[in-house]
Amino acid sequence: MNRALLELHGAGQLRRGLLPLSRHLSHLQSVNSSYAQSCCYPKLAQSYMHASCRALQLRQASHSSSSRHFHARSQIAQNFQAAQAHTLSPTRLQTLHAAVAANLPVFVFHPAERYFPCTVEWFLQRCELQLIRKGWKRSLLRVLCRQGELDGNALKAAQGQFNEEPDKKRKLMQLSLCPHARAGQADAINQVPVYAHVKEVVDPQGKLEAVEINYMKFLAFNGSYKLFDWIYIGEVGAHDGDWEHVTLRLTPDAGQVLGIYYSAHRHRDGRWVSANDMPRTPDGRPLSYVALNGHGSYPRAGFIPRIFLAFNDRTGQGQVWDPKECVLVTQDAVPQVTSRGSELDGSSYPSGHLAQNSPEVKLQQDPAAWLAYEGKWGSTVEAPALQEWFARAEHPVSRSWLAQVFFPLAPGIESIWEPFQEEVEERVQEVQRQIDEAMDDTWETAEEWKREVQHLQRRMENTSGEVRQMLQKQLHQLLRQKDKS
């Protein structure tokens, strides 16, 4: 696996930001405690302590929001650190690679589908990489790479440059596809590979529980939805770049297939199907039906109710994508992830037991430099390596049709919510900056005042009579002045 993933450092930045803050508050508390020991300025000490603690609360609230934002990246970094140390034996790798090839799914599209899979390289050649200002009204700052200039290595290099970008928290990178390329590689669909990511699932005690294989399909464009399947209301749900996946779960030795997770719409809308009920091709490979335009994966063809019956999915018996190639992005280091459980019934069938008579699947290992890219694929889609299912074990339970209809995870909802969230985060960061500046100014003033008080006190210790009374009067004036302020 490309080790650039280990450069995801959001959690480290968070820790580096909180530690100085904690030390700063401890210093403030110790200083304020010494101030409070004097009865001459309790009001100042109390107000200063209150301001310090309030500022800390605001900063911690802001960092708490940031910690949730960086959780996925932190988890990914942890998983791949473990993967780096967990290099498997050649025999084990051969077994896992054989399981990947033997169980490569076959995908069936709806007859009316217009947007098909493509390779990442084909997609990048038809994209430009843009630097965008975040916020409710996103705006283009500049074009980083033009069409024809992009490949995996260029995308990785652009990510490295973005990491050095000033004020990068207010910016993002996104890939914008040429509209003429939205159909993907429809004419050569069987030459388009599926991308595979292998994980070993362990229980809390570290015992190997299962093997999971994420089979990732990449499509050039996600089409729009129609209200109640016939009313056109604009490009609802449409976006460039569409990463979708199914997850095959096998026994620890990778010898038996236990079931498959059909992911749809941010993967929590998916469902598990046990081995006994899993649809398969005549040669024993898993079968997946792809929803019209949205490209979610389902175990059957037909009507799938969703979102108050207003935005539904439909699958059908259209063009078949029988991939002859699979690209392994995991390579020699297979990450171990903690089990989240599974609702499978325990049934199984031998992995690849019918695949010997099928055409051989070409398995290739790719450095996948594009995995280091942390920006958007299109306007809304997160980079695959930053999505939850890539870094963790698969979602443990199926989502019922009642939940899909009445408690929906709407497709494309990020396109509405995310810019608003970015605007709020930007405002929070601006307030935090102002608080930091105010605290720095207050701290400098307090330090100067403390030094002046100590200087007067030392002079009083070494004097007596009228001089001492004069110095004491100056000290009280100074304390009253600061207490009023």
pLDDT tens column, 421-473:
655 666 666 666 667 666 666 666 667 777 777 777 777 776 766 666 777 77
Separation between Cα atoms, residue 480 and residue 43, nearest integer Å: 10
CA-angle at 30, arms to 28 and 34, nearest 5°: 115
End-to-end CA distance of the chain: 59
- For the ranges 120-129, 234-243, 249-258, 469-478, which has the lowest average pLDDT? 469-478
**For residue 157, which phi and psi values (nearest 5 degrees)?**
-65, -40
pLDDT tens column, 4-18:
333 333 333 333 333
- In three-state secondary structure terms, 313 is strand
Instruction: Find the mean pLDDT for residues 382-390.
Output: 89
The pair of structure tokens assigned to 410 is 């709407």
Let me know: does 389 contact 75? Beta carbons within 8 Å. Answer: no
**For residue 481, which phi and psi values (nearest 5 degrees)?**
-65, -45
Type and span of the H or E element at 328: strand 325-328
Separation between Cα atoms, residue 80 and residue 333, nearest integer Å: 8
Question: What are the distances in angstroms from CA 255 to CA 125, 193, 394?
Answer: 39, 24, 19
- For the ranges 125-129, 155-159, 393-397, which has the lowest average pLDDT? 393-397
Let me know: does 390 contact 247? Beta carbons within 8 Å. Answer: no
Type and span of the H or E element at 106: strand 106-108
Return the percent helix, strand and coil in the chain, to nearest 5. 45, 20, 35
Instruction: Find the mean pLDDT for residues 298-326.
Output: 88
Question: What are the distances in angstroms from CA 222 to CA 178, 243, 308, 311, 364?
Answer: 14, 9, 21, 14, 27
pLDDT computed for residue 466 by the predictor? 67
Other Cβ atoms less than 10 A from the Cβ of 389: the count is 23
Separation between Cα atoms, residue 471 and residue 468, nearest integer Å: 5
Let me know: does 222 contact 115? Beta carbons within 8 Å. Answer: yes
Give bridge partners of residue 365 from the DSSP assignment.
328
Any residues with CB less than 8 A from the CB of 34 and at least 6 apart, and which? none
> Which segments of 137-251 are extended strands (E)?
139-145, 171-177, 194-202, 208-222, 239-250
Q: How far is CA 104 from the centre of its chain?
A: 26
Instruction: Find the mean pLDDT for residues 229-244.
Output: 80
The pair of structure tokens assigned to 400 is 């019922």
* Residue type present at position 413: I
CA-angle at 225, arms to 221 and 226, nearest 5°: 145
Other Cβ atoms less than 10 A from the Cβ of 357: the count is 8
pTM: 0.71
- In three-state secondary structure terms, 150 is coil
The pair of structure tokens assigned to 128 is 């430009």
pLDDT tens column, 18-38:
344 344 444 434 434 443 343
Let me know: does 358 contact 151? Beta carbons within 8 Å. Answer: no
